[in-house]
Structure 1
Amino acid sequence: EQRVRQYLHFCREERPFGVQLFGSEPATMAKAARIVAAYQPDFIDLNFGCPAKKVVKTGAGAALLSNPDRLQAIAEAVVDAVSIPVTGKIRSRWKIPNRKTLTGQVDEMMIEIAQRLENSGIRAVTVHAVASGTTQLRSDQSKETHGQKIPYPNNVRWAAIAKIKKAIRIPVIGNGGIWNANDAKRMLDETGCDAVMVARGARGNPWIFSQISHLLCTGHHLPPPTWEERKKVILTHLALTLDFYGESQGIRVFRRHLPFYLKGLPRSTNLRSKTGQLNDVTTLLKEIEEYFDALEQEQ
């Protein structure tokens, strides 16, 4: 129960706040949804798209895309179990067992699944437009984002979002391949989806949300964050992490985030190597502050 409370902790400033669940048994999922609902989130999201082996081998996550009947039963059970809105997340394609390649028929199956979710009372569907089971990256294509070279997967398929949007009446949220504000606008324009979901594009780049919002509202781009703004956000992230987890665990958790903030920044390799194993908060703070102070002085 303590771990559940930690997972479900949120601040009122974070609303609307949702909790995502995955599982393979309708009754168990309904019970989990009732437990979660007691913490008063704004909605519950059902993850039918997770490709992680430890999830798929239990019959949950993306494995349910190969079992539409069970997927629908789970959706119906959760919708009936709680009074708050329930949403669902799927992938645009999934490598069906015993098939060596993905085929066009899979697109039609995902449309059927989206329709089943709508008929089950699901209030919105997120479509992750990257096919699971196809993780190859094209080495000749990358995207420059905030000084970072981001691999551009050859399996991002936004057209599938547009197909599903046309097939159902509930809101469709597009996901996959959004690394900056331009990507978000292009997805909305090309697919007609109702909203976009940012995932890895936000790692080390929390400004992406205000940048997207500003572009969509004004048609103009926000300037990139200054060195001082970057430092302030990193240190705030560190402080919040330490407050939430405690110093010992918190510094280990934060060390996983710091490289994403630093990736692509001038002469950050040395700082990453220095801080990679640090367990002393005072030293970590000193290294971060000195690095960004030096960048400011160079301007």
Structure 2
Amino acid sequence: MTDLSCAFLNLHLKNPTVLASGILGTSPTLLERVARAGAGAVTSKSCGPEPRAGHPNPVCLDWGGGLINAIGLTNPGIEEETRHLTASAQRLRPLGVPLIASIFAPSVEAFAEVARKVSAALPDLIEVNISCPNVGDEFGTPFAGLPETAAAVTAAVKAATDIPISVKLAPNVPVIARIARAVVEAGADAITAVNTMPGMVIDADAGRPVLANKMGGISGPALKPIALRCVAEIARAVKVPIIGTGGITTGRDAAEMIMAGASAVGIGSAAWYRGPEVFDAIVSELAEWMQAAGYSSIEEMRGIAIQ
């Protein structure tokens, strides 16, 4: 019998699938729906210190090889978000599905304050989003761009909460292993890899970019080879659990990500393509593939592609 359960830090996941941040918001009813649809864990949309309206439409497009988006970190602010997350945790706890709260901020000090406040909701894990690629004009270079800034945020958040933290890294850095080592040395309990890849899609007929923000983050199938490479390099560099995220659409994709060294598999754009039921579908496809390939557990294939 194929065993899809896995451990992630002190958490037990019934399967390795994790709703990635951003794709479905933070509504308690939506997060519960995803949990009931088979997700092993769920991540809320990133929240910052103040409410943000985000960027004007259009903010997302399926361009053929994946999605490109520049939502602009739309969120209600940490006070309202904490209320949503508290309700979500109460709904998810009886289902045995861990809640991951994603946070962002414009400064090291603000990251610590947001982490402190979100801890009141008692999420199982805090995801520290230092890598959002489409608010750079407002916040400057993403904190994920340099080992020093990534480590500074990590240390500040770690000091502000007793809840385990996973730091979300960016793919567009020269050596992602250096960033990974820096955040782990600063106290990161886990790593989420990766965020979207900055890009642009142009409408030739209109002679202009398709997004109002002009540039946005590439996700979906086009991101998968980049995400696999990043996860493999991180897994070789550090010994903490990794949520491998980027282009996971099928059970076979999930197997590839686990073979690259991921402990769990983030799913985002696939929920756009296949609906919230994608989690049950990927779990079934993964179990079927593992059985055919002769694997009886997730542990048997974790990291085998990088040995």
Give the aligned partner of residue 58 of structure 1. 138
1:47 is matched by which residue type in structure 2? N
Residues 1:160 and 2:202 aligned together: no
Question: Alignment identity in percent?
Answer: 25
5 Å matches for 1:87-236?
87-94=166-173, 106=174, 108=175, 110-128=176-194, 131-132=197-198, 134-135=199-200, 152-153=221-222, 156-157=225-226, 158-189=228-259, 191-203=260-272, 204-219=274-289
Give the aligned partner of residue 35 of structure 1. 117
Unaligned stretches of 5+ residues in structure 2: 1-77, 203-218, 292-307
Q: Deviations over 1:197-217 (max 9, x none)?
A: 001101252222223333444
Which protein has the larger Cα radius of gyration, Structure 1 or Structure 2? 1
Residue 26 of structure 1 and its aligned partner are, at CA, apart by 2.0
1:65 is matched by which residue type in structure 2? A
Higher helix share: 1
Residue 5 of structure 1 and its aligned partner are, at CA, apart by 4.1
Q: Deviations over 1:79-110 (max 9, x none)?
A: 1111110111112224xxxxxxxxxxx1x2x2
Output the CA distance in 2 between the equivalents of 1:3 and 1:92: 31
SS in 1 for 2:169: strand
Give the aligned partner of residue 165 of structure 2. 86
* Cα distance change on mapping 1:20 and 1:74 into 2, 3 Å: same
Output the CA distance in 2 between the equivalents of 1:19 and 1:151: 22
Give the aligned partner of residue 297 of structure 2. none
* Cα distance change on mapping 1:4 and 1:88 into 2, 3 Å: same
* Cα distance change on mapping 1:5 and 1:170 into 2, 3 Å: closer
Task: Tell me the TM-score normalised to structure 1 length.
Answer: 0.57
Task: Tell me the TM-score normalised to structure 2 length.
Answer: 0.55
Give the aligned partner of residue 130 of structure 2. 48
SS in 2 for 1:122: coil
* Cα distance change on mapping 1:43 and 1:24 into 2, 3 Å: same
Contact 1:24 1:74 in 2 (8 A): no
Contact 1:24 1:64 in 2 (8 A): no
SS in 1 for 2:142: helix
Unaligned stretches of 5+ residues in structure 1: 95-105, 138-149, 222-299
* Cα distance change on mapping 1:151 and 1:215 into 2, 3 Å: closer
Residue 15 of structure 1 and its aligned partner are, at CA, apart by 3.3
Residue 185 of structure 1 and its aligned partner are, at CA, apart by 1.4
2:276 is matched by which residue type in structure 1? P
Contact 2:165 2:189 in 1 (8 A): yes
Aligned residues: 191
C-alpha root-mean-square deviation of aligned residues, in Å? 2.8
Residues 1:20 and 2:86 aligned together: no
Q: Deviations over 1:234-256 (max 9, x none)?
A: xxxxxxxxxxxxxxxxxxxxxxx
Given the alignment, which residue of 54, 68, 71 partners 2:150?
71
Output the CA distance in 2 between the equivalents of 1:199 and 1:66: 23
Higher strand share: 2
Give the aligned partner of residue 252 of structure 1. none
Contact 2:83 2:121 in 1 (8 A): no
